[in-house]
Structure 1
Amino acid sequence: MTVKRWLDAAVFLALALGTYRAELSSLVGSLRREHQWSDRLIAFAPSGLLVVRPTGQVLQANQAVGEILRRDAPGLVGLRSDSFDDDPASGLTPILHQAIEAEAALIEGEWTARTPEGMRLTLAYGARAVPGPDGEIVVLVNVVDVSERRIEERHAHDAAHDKLTGLPTAASWRPSSFAIRASTPVSAVPCC
């Protein structure tokens, strides 16, 4: 090859590498911006959000989940998910496995967690396996505390049921029987 061709090839290669380097730099900057945007979405979400590896290690936790679990949100990062389960067999670890098996489908249910003080919490969750920032699969878990709702439902049930037998009290079925009678149509009876 002549010197001229070597120089032309070198110039072409330099231009191609320069273009590749500029595109790569732009792509890296774009990924950084997207990662920062997703971090802000998680941080400012109104409900509790956890980002958890399939192994159970918490990668991210927002302030709302910290308040729900009565823990410091940054202190949750790095913990294993079974460290705040009431019962590991029915805790967050099986939820992670179900979410991964469901692939991209959303799974929902209830989970019983325990606060550091030992208080039991009933939490409604939605979980989905998604690609994480490093390309590995992570599970995004949305958590809502429904413990207070359960307590209110229990009080309403106790108020309408006998404490000894568990049967409905007379006060609880009378209004509904009147409502049924009032809504039942009366057939027209011929007069004479």
Structure 2
Amino acid sequence: MNHLYPIKTKVSKHQREKVLNQRASVIWFTGLSGSGKSTLAVQLEAQLHALGFKTYLLDGDNIRTGLNKDLTFTDEGRVENIRRIGEVSKLMTDAGVIVLSAFISPFNADRDQVKNIVGAENYIEIFVDAPLEVCEQRDVKGLYKKARAGEVKNFTGIDSPYETPVHPDLTVPTGEWSVEESIGKLMAFILPRVKLK
């Protein structure tokens, strides 16, 4: 690939952030299916947007039906799924946008890869922590039931592992906290990190 020469723009990420009056970041929500990742990401984005922040939400289902519809749910497919999302997130942060990414992203190595792609200074990892039994009770999509019946293979938490984050920036125990309490804690944590100093 030594024949590729990415262009160098005359507008820096910092200049874009200044125009948008925000610090571009990737807020990476990770946790089991049904833990509340998308619920929290949607609510957080709405509150940030209401305050004038320029945001974009990436979610497992909207990425898997478009950009990554060619990928399987094998370990290899999951690794590539997260890598591509990391690359898209990097492009968006280069544009000055605050990216909210809600993905199971079960492997520590993959989350570390995203952190390296987007830059550690731009990466905020949120562990949405709900016990498996709570996630199974919620089971809005009926996926746990299908996984338990053997109809869905490689399902995280059932027949595929979820590696708990080693050092998340924030843990949100959605099995204990209400959505309102979770969002309050998230806003208090995120706002100082996305405001331009």
Query: Higher helix proportion, which one?
Result: 1
- Which has the higher relative contact order, 1 or 2, with Cα contacts under 8 A spaced 6 or more apart? 2
Between Structure 1 and Structure 2, whose CA radius of gyration is higher?
1
Query: Higher strand proportion, which one?
Result: 1
